[in-house]
Amino acid sequence: MRWSNGAGSALLCGVVLCAVVGVVGCWTDPDLVNNRPVTAPTPGGNILCSADCVIIDNATPLAATGGAKDSVSALLRLAEFQVSGHAGDQIALAINANGELSGADASAALVIDVDGTSEEYPLKTLPASIDVFSFATAQSVGVKYSVRRGTLRRPAADVRLIQQVTGGSVTHASTPWHRAALATRARLCSGGSCGDSSVCEITAATGTCGSVDWAVTPFYTPSTWSAEEFQSDSGTSASRLIAITFSKPIQAANILIEDPTFVGNTATAYDSSGAFAFSDFAYSDSAGVNHPDSASFSGSINMLVLNPAHSDYVAYDVVITLKPRIVISFDTASTPMNNGIPLLLPKEFARADIKPTYSGAAWPDSMQFRIRIDSAGHPLSNRTIGLVVIPVDSGGSGSDGSYGHHHFGVSGGPAKPRGTVPATVSTGDSIGTFTYRSSQYSAPETIRATYLSADTALARLAVGVDGLHRVDSSSTILWIGPTIAHPTADSHYATDSMETMLSTLASSFAAAHHGKPLPLNDMSLPWGGRFDYDTAKLWSGGHVEHRAGRSADIRTKAGAPGALTYMEKNWVFDFWNDSLHGCVHPEPAPQEHWHLQQSKELGITCKL
Amino acid sequence: MQTLTRLFAGIIALLSFDTQWAEAQSLPGTNLTATARVRVVTMSQDTTIVSYSLLSDVGSLERLVSFKIKLTMTPTMIVVPSPDSVWVIRKLFSGITGASWVALAGIGAGDSTPTLTLKAIGLPGIATAWYHGDSLPVVDEDDSVAVANAPSLDPYADLSKIIQTVGVDTFPTSRTMLNIYNHLWVVTTGACNLGWITAASSWCNFLKGYSHASSISVLGYSAILDSARTYGGGSVINDAAYFMLRANTDYMLHTLVDTSWITLTYVCGNKFRIRSSLYASPHLVYDVTPSSDTTGVTAAGSTSDSIGYTDTFFTASTSGTVHLYYNYPSSPFATVANGAISC
């Protein structure tokens, strides 16, 4: 697959790939920024210049004359031009070498051919300017610049050869070594300097581009080429296969191959299913003639394999483009956090006056997120992003277990409630916003945002009441109410002050009743929220209160083990109400018990 | 316990657990009637001692559980009734200072509590008290509708019965005869307003008139109070009023020492006169400077409202300036020089 020319390459490539391999959600966004050159050179030349034509602007091609297995004794072609002129017009070559070529071998020479007539100029004694051709009549001449190979110390990078045409015009030009015409590198980054950019150039054996790590095996940075290019081994002997792997799929890769001489240079792109795209590179078929070629892949690329032709020496320049990223953010200054994760209050507390507060205001049970799609550092506008809250319902074995719910829903009953978000959100001009609202249940929550083939974005948050502590079973506290769905170890959480009140009640009760422990039933779950204790109504029924660590049940049912007697109930009421300023109300049969509230302690009206 | 269970099951009409019960009953904790009997009110120096007993009416539907009196000071003592294992006493309850007795076993209909006694520094007065039964409002906390509709009920304002009974008032900042006498007028008026003294147009007017500061007549007031106590077979004034007013009166008659009502005058030679308008007969101390002698003397109290004072004479052992003390050796409240007049 070759460069077809122009900006449509990436799009075309993407469409074709989708059609061929059937990649669901394959990226077809026209705004996807592709940083590979849109004016890449092809053999035969497509870069026109007029008066001045840069042939080389660095030392790379001259250094390449150091010899290669596939190009021994062959001329290294630097450039070809077709120039039309009239009598009196001139063609000259300007040379700026700063003496860097004085170390060249005596046999190394610049060869200038004009319509089949060539002259050689030893590199080590090159003048500052050479008169190449003078037009005597109106005509068109072909001019070729080559270098005869020889031992050459790598010269400085500012060796410049410029063809200067006076009067005439260049009708055809091929300057394959003129790299300035290649990549527009302004948007490129490399390695760890990429930041939020999603385009990187492979410059090391291992590196990181955004959230993607790459590894190149084998990898060698040649002195022959520019610093952005690499090859399999040192020197210019036959190259070996190179594999480039990525820690997670990338969106696109652009590969430039240098000095492909023989047929058989290929590149293959792999996704999770295997090889899905293949490209064979053009070749010069002439030792010493560099016909760099490019290939471009789009898809969900896990690996690239660069396979050189047999006995051929090649080097590569690879630029990768990450998938567009969905970026979700929120205002951290106004968001309650817990261990770096936003912590929201479960909604619909039984009583608004017992809601925890944050910074003097009611703890929020909703929060607003910002969302955008980043493509190579640029936000995409008016895109519709899909949103969903991923349910965490592992029956308590997963991350939701720490929230006290060791259960699934009842068979045929409702699934675990989760927070809500809109089904979609638009990015608008650049950034969209959406609101998450919690459910009544404490839980870890994850919002998943998706957009075509862009990397899925996840926003994690927690829903619960912060700062609850377990009131442990002890010599003065008897845990009541063990269930598989809500084990007692998870059903006895309270606020600090409630914990103090209960501990005081329990120790005083035991002291006044011959050491009898206080039969303490449900309180709150570790992170509060609705306590669906009823095994027949999991995720639906349960306590209306008991959501903020400020309620506790005491066993009073006659005949139940440890239940309070009549006198003990009077004692508990007196102590809880008159000494600790709490509130008490009994609950009806068949599961009668006493419901203790921590109300007056908080300056709250004591309700039933 | 059976009664308790029935009450729990249907006590609130709002929740409609049992309309038959609900219609017939008041809020939980108030379905009983108790009479707070004041058994005795006395004062020991500046400490008031009040004893009560509560009789639960035979028609009470709940067992009496608690009796609480609000005071402006913390009691110095609350006597725990016997057996102490079934009583809880408290000097501070729900942020209120006073006296709280909780009968853990409850007091059944027709039964009476044992004597409940408190001591506190102050004058006998009229106080707010609460008693409540053994029932509490039932609400199904698992029923979101019931919880949302549950009213805010205060255990004192709503779930108890409020009464007025004898308590303890803080002493006036200055314990002068006028201030104490004014307190007597206040509690007398209060007792009348509460109906503790019947036949208000006669006995109340008598007592309020005698207790008015315009004519301090403690002996007269005391006599009227006793007359009221015996009149009509004791039906005119109840125990609470009589004991409370009697204790206030006795305090003025026997205990109150307002030194501004005592004067010291030189007579002749080394003879001096103490003239006291107090009803009490305080023990005083005088000394004569420059000697170091100190001598005790009892200043006889007034025995008549109309005469208004009683004179007590003493002769110092030496000639010099006489200082008279009430709480010796605190500062003397009267100092008189020897006039060196021959008798």
The per-residue pLDDT for range A353-405, each reduced to its tens digit, is: 667 788 888 889 999 999 999 876 778 899 999 999 987 766 666 667 788 88
Scan for tokens 């590199």, then name that residue: A123
Please give the interface size between A and B, counted as residue pairs whose CB atoms are below 8 Å apart.
98
Mean pLDDT, rounded, of chain A = 80
Question: Could you tell me if A326 and A447 are in contact, meaning their C-beta atoms sit under 8 angstroms apart?
Answer: no
For residue A58, the model assigns a pLDDT of 67
Average pLDDT over residues B255-278: 95
pLDDT greater than 70 at residue A180: no
Higher-confidence residue of A15 and A103: namely A103
CB contact under 8 A, A588 and B155: no
A19 phi/psi in degrees, rounded to 5: -65, -35
CB contact under 8 A, B9 and A586: no
Alpha-carbon gap: B166 to the closest alpha carbon of chain A (Å): 22
Residues facing A257 on adjacent strands: A293, A316
For residue A44, the model assigns a pLDDT of 36
- Angle, CA of A493, A495 and A500, to the nearest 5°: 100
Q: Tell whether B108 lies on the interface with A, counting CB pairs under 8 A.
A: no
Q: Which of A570, A577, A579 sits opposite B134 (nearest CB)?
A: A570
Q: What is the 3-state secondary structure (H, E, C) of A151-218?
A: CCCCCCCCCEEEEEEECCEEEEEECCCCHHHCCCHHHCEEHHHHCCCCEEECCCCEEEECCEEEEEEC
Q: Tell whether B293 lies on the interface with A, counting CB pairs under 8 A.
A: no
pLDDT-wise least confident of A62-76, B28-42, B197-211 = A62-76
Q: Which of A574, A587, A607 sits opposite B152 (nearest CB)?
A: A607
User: B321: alpha, beta or left, given left = phi > 0 and alpha = psi -120 to 50?
Assistant: beta
The per-residue pLDDT for range B86-139, each reduced to its tens digit, is: 999 999 998 899 999 999 999 999 999 999 999 999 999 999 999 999 999 888
Average pLDDT over residues A411-436: 92
For A283, the token pair is 């070749």
Q: What is the 3-state secondary structure (H, E, C) of B182-230?
A: HHHHHHHHHHHHCCCECCHHHHHHHHHHHCCCCCCCHHHHHHHHHHHHH
- The amino acid present at A503, given as its one-letter code, is S
Q: Is residue B332 very low, low, confident or very high in pLDDT (cuts 50, 70, 90)? A: very high
Question: Could you tell me if A528 and A465 are in contact, meaning their C-beta atoms sit under 8 angstroms apart?
Answer: yes
Q: Which of A574, A595, A606 sits opposite B152 (nearest CB)?
A: A606
For residue A352, the model assigns a pLDDT of 64
For residue A265, the model assigns a pLDDT of 94
Cα–Cα distance list, A5 to A41, A118, A278, A295, A462 (Å): 9, 33, 19, 12, 51
For residue B97, the model assigns a pLDDT of 97
- The amino acid present at B312, given as its one-letter code, is T
Give the chain A residue whose CA is nearest to the CA of B142: A543
Q: Tell whether B307 lies on the interface with A, counting CB pairs under 8 A.
A: no
* CA–CA dist A128, A355 (Å, integer): 84
Alpha-carbon gap: B122 to the closest alpha carbon of chain A (Å): 24
Q: Which of A571, A578, A605 sits opposite B104 (nearest CB)?
A: A571
B252 secondary structure, DSSP code: I
Chain A residues in contact with chain B using a Cβ-Cβ cutoff of 8 Å = 350-351, 534, 541-546, 551, 558, 566-568, 570-571, 573-575, 577-579, 581, 583-589, 592, 595, 600, 605-608
- Exposed / middle / buried, residue B73 (Cβ in 10 Å: 0-12, 13-18, 19+): middle
pLDDT greater than 70 at residue B325: yes
* CA–CA dist A487, A481 (Å, integer): 8
Q: Which residue of B3, B6, B136 to mutate against A (max A Cβ within 10 Å)?
A: B136
The per-residue pLDDT for range B154-188, each reduced to its tens digit, is: 888 889 999 999 999 999 999 999 999 999 999 99
- Chain A positions touching B92 (Cβ under 8 A) are 579
Question: Could you tell me if A280 and A257 are in contact, meaning their C-beta atoms sit under 8 angstroms apart?
Answer: no
Residues facing B40 on adjacent strands: B51
- Exposed / middle / buried, residue A374 (Cβ in 10 Å: 0-12, 13-18, 19+): buried
Alpha-carbon gap: A472 to the closest alpha carbon of chain B (Å): 24
Q: Is residue B1 very low, low, confident or very high in pLDDT (cuts 50, 70, 90)? A: very low
The per-residue pLDDT for range A514-560, each reduced to its tens digit, is: 999 999 999 999 999 999 988 888 888 888 889 889 899 999 999 99
Q: Which of B86, B134, B140 sits opposite A587 (nearest CB)?
A: B140
Q: Is residue B3 very low, low, confident or very high in pLDDT (cuts 50, 70, 90)? A: very low
- Chain B positions touching A573 (Cβ under 8 A) are 136
pLDDT greater than 80 at residue A7: no
- Chain A positions touching B5 (Cβ under 8 A) are 558
Question: Could you tell me if A199 and A321 are in contact, meaning their C-beta atoms sit under 8 angstroms apart?
Answer: yes
Q: Is residue A407 very low, low, confident or very high in pLDDT (cuts 50, 70, 90)? A: confident
Give the chain A residue whose CA is nearest to the CA of B67: A574
For A224, the token pair is 């022959």
pLDDT-wise least confident of A361-375, A566-580, B236-250 = A361-375
CB contact under 8 A, A578 and B65: no
Mean pLDDT, rounded, of chain B = 89
Question: Could you tell me if A83 and A170 are in contact, meaning their C-beta atoms sit under 8 angstroms apart?
Answer: yes
A556 phi/psi in degrees, rounded to 5: -130, 0
Q: Which of B94, B103, B139 sits opposite A608 (nearest CB)?
A: B139
- Chain B positions touching A587 (Cβ under 8 A) are 138-142
Give the chain A residue whose CA is nearest to the CA of B85: A512
Average pLDDT over residues A186-208: 62
Please name which of B282, B281, B280, B279 lies closest in space to residue B305, comparing C-alpha atoms: B279
pLDDT greater than 60 at residue A45: no
For residue A141, the model assigns a pLDDT of 94
CB contact under 8 A, A574 and B139: no
Most confident residue range from A10-19, A328-337, A391-400, B176-185: B176-185
pLDDT-wise least confident of B119-133, B139-153, B276-290 = B139-153
Q: Tell whether B88 lies on the interface with A, counting CB pairs under 8 A.
A: yes
Is residue A64 helix, strand or coil?
helix
pLDDT greater than 80 at residue A67: no
- Chain A positions touching B136 (Cβ under 8 A) are 573, 584-586
The pTM is what? 0.70
Average pLDDT over residues A289-303: 88
For residue A157, the model assigns a pLDDT of 56
Please name which of A57, A41, A46 lies closest in space to residue A256, comparing C-alpha atoms: A41
CB contact under 8 A, B138 and A588: yes
Give the chain A residue whose CA is nearest to the CA of B145: A544
The per-residue pLDDT for range B292-314, each reduced to its tens digit, is: 889 999 999 988 887 688 999 99
CB contact under 8 A, B94 and A581: yes
Please name which of A14, A1, A61, A3 lies closest in space to residue A36, comparing C-alpha atoms: A3
For residue B310, what are the contacts with CB-CB under 8 A and spacing of at least 6?
A: B275, B276, B299, B300, B301, B302, B303
DSSP letter string, A467-508? T-EE----SSEEE----SSS-GGGS-EE-HHHHHHHHHHHHH
Give the chain B residue whose CA is nearest to the CA of A552: B141
* CA–CA dist B41, B166 (Å, integer): 8
Residues facing A163 on adjacent strands: A53, A93
pLDDT greater than 80 at residue A35: no
Higher-confidence residue of B240 and A222: namely B240
Alpha-carbon gap: A591 to the closest alpha carbon of chain B (Å): 10
Percent of chain A with pLDDT over 90: 40
Q: Tell whether B155 lies on the interface with A, counting CB pairs under 8 A.
A: yes
Q: Is residue A187 very low, low, confident or very high in pLDDT (cuts 50, 70, 90)? A: very low
Is residue A95 helix, strand or coil?
strand
Scan for tokens 């009502």, then name that residue: B261
Q: Which of B17, B66, B151 sits opposite A574 (nearest CB)?
A: B66
For residue B2, the model assigns a pLDDT of 37
- Chain B positions touching A546 (Cβ under 8 A) are 141
Alpha-carbon gap: B66 to the closest alpha carbon of chain A (Å): 9
CB contact under 8 A, A570 and B102: yes
For residue A5, the model assigns a pLDDT of 28
For residue B67, what are the contacts with CB-CB under 8 A and spacing of at least 6?
A: B34, B36, B52, B54, B100, B101, B113, B116, B129, B130, B131
For residue A522, the model assigns a pLDDT of 95
The per-residue pLDDT for range A484-522, each reduced to its tens digit, is: 889 999 999 999 999 999 999 999 999 999 999 999 999
pLDDT greater than 80 at residue A65: no
Regarding beta strands A315-321 and A242-258, do their DSSP bridges make them parallel or antiparallel, or are they unpaired? antiparallel
For residue A94, what are the contacts with CB-CB under 8 A and spacing of at least 6?
A: A52, A128, A129, A160, A161, A162, A163, A164
- Exposed / middle / buried, residue A496 (Cβ in 10 Å: 0-12, 13-18, 19+): exposed
CB contact under 8 A, A558 and B102: no
pLDDT greater than 70 at residue A181: no
- Chain B positions touching A551 (Cβ under 8 A) are 141
Q: Which of B138, B148, B150 sits opposite A586 (nearest CB)?
A: B138
Sheet of A76-85, strands arranged across: A117-122, A109-114, A139-148, A76-85, A169-174
Our measurement of the distance from residue A499's CA atom to the centroid of its chain's CA atoms, rounded to an integer in Å, reads 45
For residue B190, what are the contacts with CB-CB under 8 A and spacing of at least 6?
A: B125, B126
- The amino acid present at A348, given as its one-letter code, is E
For residue B205, what are the contacts with CB-CB under 8 A and spacing of at least 6?
A: none
- Chain A positions touching B89 (Cβ under 8 A) are none
pLDDT greater than 70 at residue A329: yes
Residues facing A85 on adjacent strands: A139
- Exposed / middle / buried, residue A20 (Cβ in 10 Å: 0-12, 13-18, 19+): exposed
Q: Tell whether B98 lies on the interface with A, counting CB pairs under 8 A.
A: no
